[in-house]
């Protein structure tokens, strides 16, 4: 993981805070609605009027596709996306408990992070992240100190992270944060890009290649 230097749009910051809180609501419909609102907000900021590479046909060939278009997703590319939500440890525990205590991901020990995924029927998939050490200085801790709880990154699931990284570098002039692909949670291979987003901000994109099946 790495830092997302894009500050949340102030007009939406209060909404995002409410939606994150509702992820721990006892009503599953409210949790699902909050997840969809967070997904839509992240997609609007990162892909509505910028980052056309997400629709590039050669890039799409390197991505994992969604199985079917859920309501409200007709105009988005058929790419498997996961929205990364950075929260403080106490929020992390409330959200996890409200959603049946999902399995914690196996995060490399050199990364100061704990995370789990939430999946909803509407195709709103979230990665809930916090720091392992409350006094740590990792990417999530730095994000929380600078911005507070919010949408920290958008994860794009790909079948070939090296190929996708190379395409974004050569065709679209984007510079990856890491010179070489690095290990991610649960045996994945990842790289990151800090790309232009709506309103002159930046969006952190994580390319995620799943672990090889044994």
Boundaries of every domain in the chain:
10-209
Is 3.40.50.1100 the CATH classification of the domain at 10-209? no
Q: Digits of tens for pLDDT over the chain (214 positions)?
A: 554 444 444 447 889 999 999 999 999 999 999 999 999 999 999 998 899 999 999 999 999 876 444 555 556 677 889 999 999 999 999 999 999 999 999 999 888 999 999 999 867 899 999 999 888 889 999 999 999 999 999 999 999 999 999 999 999 999 999 999 999 999 999 999 999 998 888 999 999 999 987 6
Angle, CA 3 vertex, CA 132 and CA 73 arms, to 5° = 100
pTM of the model: 0.89
In this structure, the number of other CB atoms found within 10 A of the CB of residue 98 comes to: 17
107-124 in b/e form (b: 16+ CB < 10 A) is beeebbbbbbbbebeebb
Contact between 64 and 159 under an 8 Å Cβ cutoff? The reply is yes
């Amino acid at each position: 993981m790495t830092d997302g230097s894009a500050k949340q749009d102030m007009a939406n910051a209060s909404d995002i805070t409410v939606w994150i809180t509702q992820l721990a609501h006892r009503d599953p419909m409210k949790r699902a609605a909050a997840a969809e609102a967070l997904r839509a907000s992240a997609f609007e900021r990162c892909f509505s009027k910028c980052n056309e590479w997400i629709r590039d046909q050669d890039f799409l060939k390197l991505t994992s596709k969604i199985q079917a278009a859920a309501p409200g997703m007709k105009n988005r590319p058929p790419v498997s996306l996961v929205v990364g939500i950075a929260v403080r440890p106490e929020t992390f525990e409330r959200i996890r408990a409200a959603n049946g205590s999902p399995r914690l991901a196996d995060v490399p020990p050199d990364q100061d992070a704990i995370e789990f995924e939430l999946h909803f029927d509407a195709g709103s998939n979230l990665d809930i992240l916090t720091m392992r050490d409350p006094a740590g200085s990792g990417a999530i801790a730095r994000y929380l100190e600078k911005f507070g709880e919010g949408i920290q990154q958008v994860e794009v699931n790909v079948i070939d992270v090296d190929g996708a990284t190379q395409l974004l570098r050569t065709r679209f002039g984007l510079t990856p944060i890491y010179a070489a692909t690095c290990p991610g949670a649960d045996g994945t291979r990842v790289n990151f890009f800090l790309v232009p987003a709506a309103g002159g901000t930046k969006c952190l994109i994580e390319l995620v290649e799943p672990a090889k099946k044994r």
